[in-house]
A and B are shown apart, each in its own frame.
Chain A
Amino acid sequence: MPPKPTEGPPLSPAAFHILLSLAENEQHGYGIIKTVLERSSGEVTLGPGTLYGNLKRFIELAWIEELEARPAADLDDERRRYYRLTKHGQRIAQLEAERLESLVRHARAARLLPSLTIGTKREVA
């Protein structure tokens, strides 16, 4: 049973994007900014202030942790501080994803989105 989140969904778009980036692999600050920018097709631009404000909060809430071990030498950049999602953070991201999925389901039911039919599965993320 994961620990009951003291703070959790709904998350801000920036917070969810950061957790989503770290769910894929461990990353450093600028790496997160680039991933979020690419994934959102340039719609979500994180500045250093917003990014590290969120990272600080996530560390305090034990959603993420800073890596002590460095990545492989060829991938490593000694200036960087790398972060990864904890199990608790993973659970929070999952809860938020489920919440968004539920919203999309309601949007489909209200015919705001086309309904999914077998064979024409669409990505809703």
Chain B
Amino acid sequence: MNNTAHTTSSAPTSLWKMRLRLMRKSLKTGWDIFKENPVGMVGLVIIVFFALLAILHPILMATVWDPGTYDPITGYDFKTLIHPSPPSWLPQPDNPMYKPSFRHILGTDPLGRDVLSQLMYSTRSEFLLGVGAALVTVLIATTVGAVSAYYGGLIDILFMRMADVMMMLPFIAILIVLSSLFQFKMIHLAIVYGILAGFGGTTIVIKSQALTIKVKSYIEAARIAGGGDGHIIFTHLVPNLLPLSFLYMMFTVTGAIFSEAVLSFFGLLDIRMSWGLMIQTAQAAGYLLNSWKYWYLMFPAGLSITLLCAAFYLVGRAMDEVVNPRLRKR
């Protein structure tokens, strides 16, 4: 499809214009196929829902939520202190937490902080983490995949062996050690996870795709026209790998969010608030194995992690059907 665009390229501006137009067109056909996949749409709806939560949090904090009470990390509802004989919706002397009520829709955690506010606040960092890790992965995997497919030989062998190593090792074990010994923050985790995933399985998939593109006629044409290696890799090979890279971004997001949750559940990350940490706080205070009464400590964070991971995974699977026509149902 991009054939004509590449071979007839002499003026770079028209080439880019044409490529943009083609991209828009293929995006539209891609979206048309994606739209028909209910599973993918469910995933997309969930992602949009969480994105809204993330955007809404700062707005709520600036308007209706008093920062002193609702701050996800330092907030505390002092109403509990001034009440001598609290009504049923207020914390009782034997149970210092708020039950879900209009004031605190999902109650408060054992430290008196609003659960909903924590949940919404964490959503943003989960998104940033996921997308950050995915970008690192795509950057590495696409470059490495394109380069080793294009040059082959020793470079290829080296990168592929490295990918084998990455694929055979349990990430969590390595991340546990790294995050604890080096006191990781969110950003470090995003980069390290991105690197581990980027040099791993994703590279292999992208490389095999790059191999099929490498033999296409427009690459040959570009080479005959005198295009340098770098030029061919970055203007002809990489743009054609992007749809697949984008697909693998989705799976990286799932992996990154999951890893973050596990690590902060173990208390190994140097962060102040996240879904994993919320579960850890509740568990450490002994509220999780107690009774169904504390469902608002048990479910929101755990379900959010599961839902968001599942959503990105589902979108990835639906995109897989767009990118690989072989999987499409007739």
| Genuine A/B complex | no
